[in-house]
Chain A
Amino acid sequence: MVTPIELLYHIEPLAEGNDKQVFVIQFKGELDESNIDNTAKEVYKLLDESANDLPVLFDFSELGYMNSKSIGYLSDWYTRLGEKGSELLVAAAPENIMDILQTVGLDNFIRMFPSVELAKAALLAPPAA
Chain B
Amino acid sequence: MIDGIPPSEEGVQLGGRIMVVIASSLYFQSGIRDFTLDMARNLTGLNDQWAHRFQTIVDEMCNNAIEHGSKPGDEIALTFHLKPGEYLEVVVEDQGTGEKKLTASELAALVEAKKHTSPVDIHSLRGRGLARIVSRWTDELEFTDRKPSGIRARARKYFRNIT
Contact = CB atoms under 8 A, between A and B. Distances in A.
Interface of A: 1-3, 30, 32-34, 65, 67-69, 71-73, 75-76, 79, 95-96, 99-100, 103-106, 108-109
Interface of B: 26-27, 29-31, 33, 48-49, 52-53, 55-56, 59-60, 63, 66, 118-120, 122-129, 132-133, 136-137
A105 B60 contact: no
Contacts of A2: 26
Most buried by A among B30, B49, B52, B122: B30
28 contacts: A1-B31, A30-B30, A32-B59, A33-B63, A33-B66, A34-B26, A34-B27, A34-B29, A65-B59, A67-B56, A68-B128, A69-B126, A72-B122, A72-B124, A72-B126, A73-B125, A75-B122, A75-B123, A79-B123, A95-B48, A96-B53, A100-B56, A100-B133, A103-B136, A104-B119, A105-B120, A106-B119, A108-B119
Where chain B touches its partner, the secondary structure class is helix
B26 A104 contact: no
A53 to B, nearest CB: 24
Contacts of B30: 1, 3, 30, 32, 34
A105 B131 CA distance: 13
B56 to A, nearest CB: 6
B132 A67 contact: no
B49 A67 contact: no
Contacts of A79: 123
A1 B132 contact: no
The 8 closest A-B pairs by CB, nearest first: A105-B119, A72-B125, A68-B129, A96-B52, A34-B26, A68-B128, A3-B30, A104-B132
Given A34-B29, A73-B125, A96-B49, A68 B119 contact: no
B41 to A, nearest CB: 12
A72 B30 CA distance: 19
B59 to A, nearest CB: 6
Given A72-B126, A105-B119, 15 more contacts: A2-B26, A32-B33, A33-B29, A67-B56, A67-B59, A67-B63, A68-B63, A68-B128, A69-B125, A69-B129, A76-B125, A95-B48, A99-B52, A103-B133, A105-B118
A96 B136 CA distance: 15
Contacts of B132: 68, 103-105
A68 B133 contact: yes
Nearest to B134: A68
